[in-house]
Amino acid sequence: MEVEYLRQGVPLADYQLTKADHRRQEEAVEAHEWVQRHLAKAPPWSEERWEQMRGLLGSPSPAREYQRWRLRLYCGHIVEAARPRTAPRPDEGMCNNEACSQCGLDPSVIVAFEPLGSLSDPPPKERQQRPGRSPHKPRVDRRSRAELAAENAALRAELEALRHQT
């Protein structure tokens, strides 16, 4: 199934916040605070319970199942994130906001976005290699920030779903 990925507010740097963006940010903050208050009341999990959760979550999905996106957040920063390839927009479902890695605003709603390509595709080369120089070989033992972010988002979504089951 081929998904047609949408764009909104391009170019991202020129996007102007709307009243709807302000309202969505207020709602996201209220929901986040509500969750934090209830989590603070919950008893801590034992290491055994965490191990059970890790077993339920299983191994992370492969990178080819994620789409890379460039996002403009409510705070004004532009970041990259990964979302499941099945959604035409990065702000559908439970992932309509991000914690900004630049200023720390958490949550910061997504106000504009553009697709970048599959997480498994290498990012476009910024500059061409000069003749006579060997290309830099990336270390294979390190995962990219986008892969870690995608894995983190998937685990958080699964954890949230499990919390609603109990």
Q: Give residue limits of the domains in the chain.
A: 1-37+64-120
For residues 103 and 106, what is the distance between their CA atoms, to the nearest angstrom? Answer: 9
Q: Read off the pLDDT of residues 86-142 as tens digits, 9 standing for 90 and up.
A: 989 999 877 888 999 999 999 999 999 999 998 887 666 644 444 544 444 444 456
Q: Read off the pLDDT of residues 71-89 as tens digits, 9 standing for 90 and up.
A: 999 999 999 999 989 989 9
What number of helices (H) and strands (E) belong to the chain?
Answer: 3, 4
pLDDT band at 34 (very low <50, low <70, confident <90, very high): very high
pLDDT band at 1 (very low <50, low <70, confident <90, very high): low
For residues 146 and 152, what is the distance between their CA atoms, to the nearest angstrom? Answer: 10
pTM as predicted: 0.68
pLDDT value for 123: 62
